[in-house]
Each structure stands twice: as C-alpha cells, then as structure tokens.
C-alpha cells in the first residue's frame, strides 16, 4: 500500500522532474547527454546517427501534430532556382540555420522569432543562386560561443550570441578555402556545402571541387576555431613518400583533383578519431590519365582528429568512373555481431550498398567480395578489373534495369522506353561509361544520398531513403576542328566544359535547376557572358582555368556569333579539353512524359538491420500529385534529405517532391502522419525540446525536381493541453 506521504512525494516529483531535467540539460556541465534536449550538431551529433532520445511525441499522439511556428527568411528566388538543404542545429533553446541566399540566422527555437541575421556578402554578390548549405557548426569554451559555417569558398566565424563576425578569425572574420592546399588553386572552383565537425579547438573541414578537368585537390584540413589558421592537412591525393602515392601516376598530386570529402564527417570523441568519406577523382567519367586504384578517392578514412594522421582506410570503389562519391558521413554504430558487441561505422553508398566496418581497424564485419567487372571500351581507359561488393547487407534498392522493369505507365511511353533501352548497354553494376551509352542504376544521385541514414540503437536498424532513378552515361568523342569561325572553336569548349549542366540543346540538363541559355544573344552582351564564364555566378562555378581565347570562343558560340577566328587563335589552336571524350550531359532515363523509365517504386524508405545484415522492411516514399489525381498512387519518388529516428518509435522524413513531411512507425514502416509543407523539404529534419516541449523542424526550400523555391522553416509540435 502506498502511504499518503509517498503519494505526495511522487506527485511533487512528477511536477518537478521536467523542470529539473530542463535546468540541467541547458547547463554546460549537464550530467545528461546534450542531445536529450538539443540537436547540437549536423545530423544530430558527432556520430551523425540522426537519432533523438526524446519521447514526448510517440506513436499514439503523432497524428495530433500541428504547426507550432513558421519562419520566413524572405529571400527565396522568384525564378525557383534557390534551395534550402540545411539541417539546423539547436543549442540551449536557440536555432541556428541558413536562408536560401546563405544568410546565417538565429531563432528562438520555441517560437521561431528572429534573434539576429548575419549577411556574409550583402551588396557584393548576386543574391540568388549562391549555392546550398547543409548546416553549421557550433563551438564553445564555456564562455565564448561561435558559429562556423561556409559560403561558397569562404569559412566564417560568427558570434553565436550577437550574430557579429569574429574579426580576429582569419581575414577580418573569414578564411579563404583556396589557401593552404599545397599548390596554386586560386583560379579553380572550390566551395563547401556541408558543415565541418568540431573537435576540441579544431574545425575539420572538406570541400566541393570541380568534377571536370582543372579540379582542385580535395585535401582535408583542420582549422583553428580561434584564429582560422590551418593546424593540419591530410592529402587525399598522396605526395611522394606518403601512403598510397603509388596508386596514381607519378607526381599526380601536382595536377590531379577531386578525392574530396564534400558530404561531411563523423567523430568518435573518446577515441579522438574523425571518419572521412571521400568522392571520386576528377575527371569523374574518364580516368585515362590516372591509371591505378587512386587512393584516397572513394574511401572511408579514419584520421587522428588532433594530428590528421591516417589510422586506416577502406576503399569502396577502385578507379571510379561512375561518380560514385561516398554521399554521406559514416554513421557510428554499436552492433551485435557473432555474439559480440562491436563499435563500427556504417557507410551508405550511391549504389545502395552498406559497408559495415570495424571502427578501430576498418575491417568489414560481413564478407566483401572482389567481383570481376567489364573492361572499358574507351581508348586510353584502364578500368579496374574488380570492385568490392558486400555480401551483406543486400542492396537497399534495385541495382540493374531489366526488360521486366521497364515502364508500362502508358502504351506509347512503354514503346518509346523499350526502344531506347535496346540501344544502351545494360547489365550488372559497374559497366564502364561508353560511346554507346550505359545505363547506370541506381543513378548518379543514388540509391543513398547526402541525407544519410538514421540509426536506431534499440533495434539495430539503419533507416535509409533511396531514389530509384535510372540514368544514362554517354561519352562523346572530342574532336578538334575549325571552319574559320570563333563559334565553332567555342562549340568544342562548350561540349567539354558546359554540356554536363546546360545539356546538348542548352535548355538545361534534367538534374540541375539551371536556366535555359538558348537565344542568349537576345538578353546578354558578349562582355557579360565572358565575365560569367571566367568568374562564375550563383551555382555556376568559375571556369577561370580556361585560356582567354577559349572563354572568348565559348561566348561566341553561346551568342551564335559569326565572328571569324583571330589570327592568334589560328596559330595557337589550343585544345579546350585534354581528354578524348566528354560526358554528353547529365541525363536521366525518362519516359516521354518525364517520369522514370522503369516501373515503381521510384523511391523507398528502408530499414536495414546491421546486427543481422538483412532488410527488415521496405515501403514506398513519396508520390507524384498529378498521378494521384489519375488514381496512380504508391509510386514513390526521388528524395533529397534524410530521416530522423526517435526513441519513441518514430521516423520523421520529408525530402519528396510532393512537398510533404511524414512520420512512420519504426517497427514496420507504417505511415502514421503526414503534413503538407509550403515548399518541398529537401533537407533532414531536426528534433529537439525547449521548455519541456518537443519539436520537429524542417527547412522548406524546394527548388529541386521542378518544385517551387521556398524560404520557410516550419516547426511541428503537439497542441498545448487546455
């Protein structure tokens, strides 16, 4: 029997405990994990597990979620070219995030009210299309607080309390990412979309570089968060005497680029180890000038976070010719494997494989086979003869297009697709690019992508959204030829450097929100075109590595000029492209109506059990609203941005072109709740609590997959009682 005194004490504890928990969770010396209230860093914490221990919102009440607040930054592109891919962080009740033009702001996380805004390039750059930013990093020494984030090729340090730049950091508050890479890259494209990770007084940072000729190297650098100075660098393209140097041609480090960590990092603070996922070497689709395995491209690398020294590495694609960048940070997990508890890293890939590696040694926990793959038919190319394929877990999406997979959405569309399918090379994965055209499936955007996976320690499941879109890789022979016109010379430059994004017909490739440049002479002058090509604008990188004559020539081609070749150009006859082939644009394999050329599902949400190496369940994710109106449902769609899993049994995810956010039951994938967003949420949600109330917030930036651009962050919560 419970005494009256005990009953009173229990009632008192019931009312006081939430206040006590909130008090301690907001203190710097909190005995509770910070992520019980905060979302302290990109993808939820240094493990990038995209997991929240909060339980207020659960299976029984999630259907009651409603909009708690909406914040509009007011700077979306009216031409629908801007995006927001930011996964915001929440520290002690303050939300930090970025807008479509990459302004940094702080909000009261309980109300969405604006506290301050930092504008990095006000009145200096075109406000629209400045690129994307997927998050920011937070550092504190217990007294001072800083937000570190990147915009294009600059790293900024901003006072977290005031929004003012830290003038003592770098050059008046910013550091150029062009500095400290070991060779002159001032004219080469460098940007940074994904936040670095903070370890002690270091910000460990990667970058995005060009995927074409003339790429900067993708070395990993650690910046001092107080001064902006580079404390260490790890060469992803090894230099003489460094491990992996022999996997490239001699002195490749002087010219080769890529092998960059654009998708972020995970960090084991206790071990002092940072885990680095890298992308392919440049040029992405032809490697005749880089025979070998090309370490450390396409690798998971474990580095000493204090010194940058390599501990181990594991290469997931050898001599990449398919743009198979590692698209997300490795997720730090603890699994039950063969009767033992093992700390591991789980690395998802665009090809829908998961490499589960021992966190200390890099050894695979499940067998990985070296599978023979076809040789390249392109002259000069030496495709690597085998590729590593995990036996478990199985791929979480289909991995080849067969006749039975071709669309039957309409009879005309089916006939068209079948005819095209018969032209292209198709078969097992890793068929090299070809002149004929090769089907790559999953496509260049996965499979898995930068949204990453959410890990549930209770079930051992890794939840991953996958896109199932076939793409076409076709290489065009590069031919040099002149008919006396500058524009003809410029066409070769265009085919080599511009066709990937702008397409063969200048209308814009299907995968990039780029404007049509047909009939450019009706709206631009020659000087304007030359300026943009040389220096870049918006999301378009600089092509400053081209010779002046080549830039002038491509401007003549774009403007349909009849200007003759100058005598100097006739004498020089320089090649705009050093390779014998160039990609014929980024092409999705679509039916005549613009839908994927295969039968659904076109997008899925998957639960992969990392303890057993099996797929626990799979459901479709997303729909096409216009097909739903025709009664065609449950198709799934491509998605960008990832899931979040909670201790209460929920998976929150947006990312689909139907502009919705959803909650699924983590046990079986059953849909429990969905809500319409003001624009598509191509980002990963954040889950946090303020004042004892739990919130789910998502950036609604749209701007991809033909969807309108937005400027909103929307937070959902349960309604207040009474």
**pLDDT for 545-579, tens place per residue?**
577 777 888 888 898 888 887 766 554 545 567 89
Of the candidates 103, 701, 287, 212, the one whose C-alpha atom is nearest the C-alpha of residue 495 is: 212
Cα 322 from chain centre: 16
State whether residue 685 is helix, strand or coil.
Answer: coil
Report the percentage of the chain scoring pLDDT > 70.
90
Could you report the per-residue pLDDT of 490-549, keeping only the tens digit for each?
A: 777 787 678 767 877 887 765 556 778 888 888 888 888 888 888 777 667 667 657 777
Of the candidates 441, 496, 500, 502, the one whose C-alpha atom is nearest the C-alpha of residue 472 is: 441
Where are the CATH 1.10.760.10 domain residues in the chain? 479-576
Contacts of 80 (CB under 8 A, 6+ apart): 513, 702, 703, 707, 708, 709
Q: What confidence category does residue 288 fall into, taking pLDDT thresholds of 50, 70 and 90?
A: very high
Euclidean distance between CA atoms 399 and 699, whole angstroms:
31
Centre a 10 Å sphere on the Cβ of residue 269 and count the other Cβ atoms it contains. 14
pLDDT beyond 50 at 477: yes
Euclidean distance between CA atoms 336 and 179, whole angstroms:
44
> What distances in angstroms separate CA 472 from CA 44, 117, 432, 639, one per listed residue?
35, 43, 11, 19
Average pLDDT, the chain: 90
Contacts of 167 (CB under 8 A, 6+ apart): 173
19 burial via Cβ count (<10 Å: 0-12, 13-18, 19+): exposed
Token digits for 373? 């793959």
pLDDT top residue among 645 and 573 = 645
Q: What confidence category does residue 85 fall into, taking pLDDT thresholds of 50, 70 and 90?
A: very high
Euclidean distance between CA atoms 488 and 493, whole angstroms:
9
Q: DSSP secondary structure string, 361-393?
A: T--BSS-EEEEE-PPP-STT----SEEEEESSS
Q: Are strands 438-440 and 386-390 parallel, antiparallel or unpaired?
A: unpaired
Q: What confidence category does residue 595 fall into, taking pLDDT thresholds of 50, 70 and 90?
A: very high
DSSP H or E segment with residue 412 = helix 411-421
Token digits for 500? 């990937």
Would the CA dihedral through 567, 573, 574, 575 be positive or negative?
positive
Per-residue confidence (pLDDT) for residue 556, from 0 to 100: 86
DSSP H or E segment with residue 293 = none
| Per-position b or e across 672-681, b if 16+ CB within 10 A of its CB | bbbbebbbbb
pLDDT beyond 90 at 294: yes
In total, the chain counts a number of residues equal to 722
Of the candidates 222, 329, 214, the one whose C-alpha atom is nearest the C-alpha of residue 279 is: 329
pTM: 0.88
Token digits for 657? 């072109």
The residue assigned the tokens 């082939």 is 581
Per-residue confidence (pLDDT) for residue 254, from 0 to 100: 96
Asked, as a colleague might, if the bond just before 601 is cis with ω within 30 of 0, I would say: yes
Contacts of 98 (CB under 8 A, 6+ apart): 84, 86, 104, 105, 133, 135, 136, 149
Asked, as a colleague might, if the bond just before 393 is cis with ω within 30 of 0, I would say: yes
Q: What is the mean pLDDT of residues 689-702?
A: 97
621 burial via Cβ count (<10 Å: 0-12, 13-18, 19+): buried
> What distances in angstroms separate CA 48 from CA 57, 263, 414, 455, 522, one per listed residue?
21, 12, 42, 9, 48
Euclidean distance between CA atoms 152 and 207, whole angstroms:
10
> What distances in angstroms separate CA 662 from CA 531, 569, 701, one per listed residue?
44, 58, 17
Could you report the per-residue pLDDT of 323-333, keeping only the tens digit for each?
A: 999 999 999 99
Per-residue confidence (pLDDT) for residue 16, from 0 to 100: 38
Of the candidates 432, 449, 440, 450, the one whose C-alpha atom is nearest the C-alpha of residue 319 is: 432
Contact 298/316 with Cβ under 8 angstroms?
Answer: yes
The superfamily (CATH) of domain 479-576 is Cytochrome c-like domain (1.10.760.10)
CA angle 449, 453, 456 (to 5 degrees): 175
Token digits for 351? 């090809």
Contacts of 9 (CB under 8 A, 6+ apart): none
Cα 216 from chain centre: 19
Q: DSSP secondary structure string, 557-602?
A: HHTT--PBPPHHHHHH---S-SSSEEE---EE-B-TTSSBSBPSPS
Contact 208/260 with Cβ under 8 angstroms?
Answer: yes
The residue assigned the tokens 């709740």 is 673
Q: What is the mean pLDDT of residues 159-172?
A: 98
Contacts of 453 (CB under 8 A, 6+ apart): 50, 328, 331, 346, 348, 462, 463, 464, 608, 642, 643
Q: What is the mean pLDDT of residues 279-302?
A: 98
Euclidean distance between CA atoms 118 and 348, whole angstroms:
34
Q: Checking phi first, is residue 669 left (phi over 0); if not, alpha (psi -120 to 50) or beta? A: left
Per-residue confidence (pLDDT) for residue 124, from 0 to 100: 55
pLDDT beyond 90 at 34: no
Of the candidates 702, 708, 697, the one whose C-alpha atom is nearest the C-alpha of residue 87 is: 697
Q: What confidence category does residue 651 fall into, taking pLDDT thresholds of 50, 70 and 90?
A: very high
Would the CA dihedral through 548, 550, 552, 558 be positive or negative?
negative
């Amino acid at each position: 029997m419970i005494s009256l005194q005990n009953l009173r004490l229990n009632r008192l504890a019931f009312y006081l405990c939430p206040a006590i928990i909130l008090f301690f969770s907001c203190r710097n010396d909190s005995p509770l994990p910070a992520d019980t209230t905060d979302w302290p860093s990109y993808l939820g914490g240094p493990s990038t597990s995209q997991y929240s221990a909060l339980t207020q919102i659960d299976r029984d009440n999630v259907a009651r979620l409603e909009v708690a607040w909406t914040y509009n930054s007011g700077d979306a592109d009216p031409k629908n070219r801007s995006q927001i891919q930011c996964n915001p962080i929440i520290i002690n009740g303050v939300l930090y995030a970025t807008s479509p033009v990459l302004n940094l702001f702080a909000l009261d996380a309980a109300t969405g009210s604006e506290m301050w805004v930092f504008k990095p390039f006000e009145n200096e750059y075109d406000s629209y299309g400045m690129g994307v930013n997927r998050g920011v990093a937070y550092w504190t020494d217990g007294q001072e607080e800083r937000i570190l984030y990147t915009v294009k090729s600059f790293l900024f340090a901003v006072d977290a309390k005031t929004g003012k730049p830290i003038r003592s950091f770098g050059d008046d508050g910013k550091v150029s990412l062009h500095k400290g890479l070991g060779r002159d890259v001032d004219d080469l494209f460098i940007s940074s979309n994904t936040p670095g990770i903070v370890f002690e007084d270091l910000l460990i940072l990667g970058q995005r570089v060009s995927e074409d000729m003339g790429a900067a190297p993708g070395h990993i650098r650690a910046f001092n968060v107080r001064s902006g100075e580079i404390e260490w660098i790890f060469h992803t393209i090894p230099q003489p005497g460094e491990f992996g140097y022999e996997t490239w041609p001699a002195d490749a480090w002087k010219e080769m680029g890529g092998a960059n960590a654009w998708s972020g990092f995970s960090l084991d603070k206790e071990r002092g180890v940072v885990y680095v996922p890298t992308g392919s070497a440049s040029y992405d689709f032809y490697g005749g000038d880089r025979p070998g395995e090309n370490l450390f491209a396409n690798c998971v690398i474990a580095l000493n976070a204090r010194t940058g020294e390599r501990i181990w590495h594991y290469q997931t694609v050898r001599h990449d010719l398919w743009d198979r960048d590692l698209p997300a940070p490795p997720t730090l997990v603890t699994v039950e494997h063969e009767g033992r508890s093992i700390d591991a890293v789980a690395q998802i890939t665009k090809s829908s494989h998961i490499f589960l590696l021992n966190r200390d040694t890099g050894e695979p926990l499940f067998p990985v086979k070296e599978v023979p793959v076809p040789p390249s038919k392109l002259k000069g190319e030496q495709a690597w003869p085998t590729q590593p394929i995990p036996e478990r877990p199985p791929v979480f999406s289909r991995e080849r297009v067969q006749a039975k997979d071709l669309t039957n959405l309409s009879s005309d569309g089916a006939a068209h697709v079948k005819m095209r399918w018969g032209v292209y090379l198709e078969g097992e994965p890793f068929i090299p690019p070809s002149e004929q055209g090769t089907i790559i499936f999953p496509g260049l955007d996965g499979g898995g992508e930068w949204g990453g996976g959410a890990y549930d320690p209770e079930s051992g499941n890794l939840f991953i959204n996958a896109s199932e879109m076939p793409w076409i890789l076709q290489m065009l022979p590069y031919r040099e030829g002149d008919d006396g016109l500058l524009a003809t010379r410029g066409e070769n430059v265009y085919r080599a450097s511009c066709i990937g994004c702008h397409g063969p017909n200048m209308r814009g490739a299907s995968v990039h929100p780029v404007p049509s440049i047909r009939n450019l002479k009706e709206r631009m002058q020659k000087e304007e075109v030359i300026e943009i090509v040389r220096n870049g604008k918006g999301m378009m990188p600089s092509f400053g590595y081209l010779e002046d004559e080549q830039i002038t020539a491509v401007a003549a081609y774009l403007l349909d000029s009849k200007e003759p070749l100058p005598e100097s150009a006739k004498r020089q006859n320089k090649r705009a492209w050093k390779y014998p082939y160039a990609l014929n644009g980024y092409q999705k394999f679509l039916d005549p109506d613009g839908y994927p050329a295969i039968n659904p599902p076109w997008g899925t949400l998957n639960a992969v059990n990392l303890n057993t190496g099996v797929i626990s369940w799979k459901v479709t994710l997303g729909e096409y609203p216009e097909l739903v109106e025709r009664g065609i449902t449950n198709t799934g769609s491509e998605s960008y941005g990832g899931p979040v899993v909670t201790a209460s049994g929920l998976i929150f995810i947006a990312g689909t072109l139907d502009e919705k956010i959803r909650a699924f039951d983590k046990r079986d994938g059953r849909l429990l709740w969905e809500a319409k967003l003001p624009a598509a949420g191509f980002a990963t949600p954040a889950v946090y609590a303020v004042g004892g109330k739990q919130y789910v917030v998502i950036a609604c930036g749209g701007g991809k997959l033909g969807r309108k651009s937005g400027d909103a962050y929307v937070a959902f919560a349960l309604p207040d009682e009474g």
